[in-house]
Amino acid sequence: MPLKENQYINREISWLQFNARVLQEAEDPSVPLLERLRFIGIFSNNLDEFFKVRYSRVQQIAMAGKQGKSMLQGYEASELLERITSIVIRQQSRSFKVINSIFKEFKAHNIHVIREDEVNSFQADFLSTYFVEKISPILMVYMLDNIDSFPHLKDSAVYLAVKLVLDSDKKRSENIQEKDKKIYALIEIPVSIDRFVVLPIGADGKQYVMFLDDVIRYNMDTLFNILNYSSVSAHMIKITRDAQLDIDSDFKKSFIDKISKSVQNRKKGNPVRFVYDKNIDTDTLKFLLQKMNIQESDSIIPGGRYHNRKDYMKFPSLGHDELTFNAMKPLSIKGLDLKGSILEKIAQKDYLLHTPYQSFSYVVKFLREVAIDPKVISIKITIYRLSKMSHIISALVNAAKNGKEVTVQIELQARFDEANNIMFAKKLQREGVRVVFGVPGLKVHCKTCLIERLEQKKIVRYGFISTGNFNESTAKIYTDFTLFTSHAGILKDLHKVFNFFDINYKVPTYKHLLVSPHYNRPKINELINQEIKKAKDGEPARIRIKVNSLSDLNLIDRLYKASETGVKVDLIIRGICCLIPGVKGMSENIRVISVVDRFLEHPRLYIFGTDKNPKIYISSADWMVRNMDRRVEVSCPIYDTEIQNEILDTFEICWKDNVKAREITNDQSNTYVKNTKETPKIRSQQMLYTYYNDQLKQ
């Protein structure tokens, strides 16, 4: 299908609209107040990563002089950069209003976020002492008039740009000329101290909080007491740098050394965004832009008083549990006891884990069990992202010390987790674990584990395949599926995947798994074509997909074709969606929703056919070109009837959400799914927790 006008939504614009849905959560008065503030933090963190990766890519296309319309879904690169900047400025303006509203509402709960000019006498002594003892010893202050070159500003660090106007007597005494009456400085806000300083509760019984930035502002006289100045102003600035890795081609270096060097070089990446306090003095801004060699063509965005608002995710709760989400204690999996042997249970049937509704402890328990099981001879696992304090790594080291043959495929190019993965890779190597660094030219993004156990002189395999990372921290807030299985056919295929990491010049064949980059795309096309044929033959035909992102134009075209022939297509897409639904003659049988709520929707789920005889896969692969063609991904079929029904139930619960679901349409308005008074409210994440809790009672 040739490219047509209005056939696709631009990927970058679609991503910004996903982040707008995150901002909607911050605006939603039904969301607890502290959680609203934390959604602002998520919104801000998302935006930082967007500029580091996506914006920088478009900027490179523009700088190279490429036209880019085909690769940028109808936009010229320079035109898209302007469009992005315009959207971001509007969203930032919305976010400032939300923050101000939240801080006003805090007052009703006796929480007051104050500035340096609102400090009372009781708080003054505390702030002065706190500054001298905690902040001043680690503060980096750059006097810009006294250094030869402008300091290199760290990516995503925040700085106070300070202007000091010297006292007139001081100027005369040192014969300072009129043009030199101003001194500029930069103060780097330290990250080793909490961004929010909780002040002692005073006689009024109110709780006061200050930004670390404002504590520094309050202590300007202490900081610059050697200068005789008449006035001082301090406004925040921030640089975001290109985060693309430029991997050294020196064949003499090991891959881990190349990635380590590239991660270090990232700190020197070109600026892609300059954000400043919109109230900064014009002369200060002009001075900074000139010294930093930032051009008007660069992304220069006026912001609020505070940057790095991702820190709002760590705003202290101050004992106000009523201002946070109600706790959802992770549930057990029906029939699978954490106190018993998981391998014994899996030998009898498959089990499905759905985090965070159910406990991620099952994954850790599985690895802990096999680490000490004398019959287990080998463990193979793929790792993409890990928790900073990983129980997974501990279990694998434990297994190696117990004589197991442990192989870990760890992806060193997991964006923004490179340093963490390098650290774990070196630790595993020191402990005798065999560490594999993937396939040349491909990221290994699949989430799999394979165990070989000697039973009655035969090798028996067990394992699990997941849609998400083996990360204890994110498993508390990301929804994901993990299938525990002893299915011989599936695990034989998984064994071939691990062999492919070692012998990647041979492409294996698989009977059960769909493995990128060789088989995922053709098999998905085949499954879509089967539904198209059903529709043409007058049979019921249906496709249901739940993924994080849908941007692969070839797959979108296949879905358009399915719609044209009468296939009902239901899509739950959390983030990027380049498909335009509901267009007569192209996509009138396609509907797309996006659910954004307290948990991050993360499973990849493919369902082809009706409920009578469905073909169901859980997968690590989104429907993006990179997942289909440039990564090792695994899509796993679900054969167990009970688990099939469970997955169908969870999809339908999410599909019927009329509280946190938004309609995805061409106008990108993020309109909430409408419900009537007769329709009961369905908040899918709450209902899913109830669904699994009810299972345990049956």
| Cross-strand bridge partners of residue 231 | 165
438: left (phi over 0), alpha (psi -120 to 50) or beta: left
Taking alpha carbons only, the member of 228, 87, 239 closest to residue 161 is 239
Distance CA 158, CA 12 (A): 25
Taking alpha carbons only, the member of 196, 228, 238 closest to residue 215 is 196
Distance CA 628, CA 446 (A): 12
Residue 445 is among the residues annotated as catalytic for this protein: yes
| 8 A C-beta contact, residue 468 and residue 474 | yes
Phi, psi of 597 (to 5 degrees): -150, -160
- DSSP one-letter string for 409-436: EE-TT-TT-HHHHHHHHHHHHHTT-EEE
Q: Which two tokens stand for residue 217?
A: 């502002």
Distance CA 396, CA 379 (A): 8
Give residues with Cβ within 8 angstroms of 376, minimum separation 6: 370, 399, 404, 451, 452, 453, 454
Give the relative orientation of helices 418-430 and 255-266 as an angle to the nearest 10 degrees.
150
| 8 A C-beta contact, residue 535 and residue 562 | yes
Distance CA 261, CA 245 (A): 9
| Cross-strand bridge partners of residue 439 | 442
Largest CA distance in the chain: 96
| Cross-strand bridge partners of residue 627 | none
Q: What is the CA radius of gyration of the chain?
A: 28
Give residues with Cβ within 8 angstroms of 434, minimum separation 6: 405, 406, 407, 408
| 8 A C-beta contact, residue 262 and residue 247 | yes
Number of helices (H), then strands (E), in the chain = 20, 26
Taking alpha carbons only, the member of 379, 386, 238 closest to residue 299 is 238
Give residues with Cβ within 8 angstroms of 607, minimum separation 6: 542, 543, 544, 545, 614, 615, 616, 647, 648, 651
Distance CA 546, CA 541 (A): 17
Q: Which two tokens stand for residue 696?
A: 């345990």
CA distances from 257 to 1, 421, 504 (A): 44, 12, 22
445, 487, 518, 602: which one is catalytic? 445
Q: Which two tokens stand for residue 287?
A: 């001075």
CA distances from 261 to 255, 396, 417 (A): 10, 27, 14
Q: Return the active site residues.
A: 445
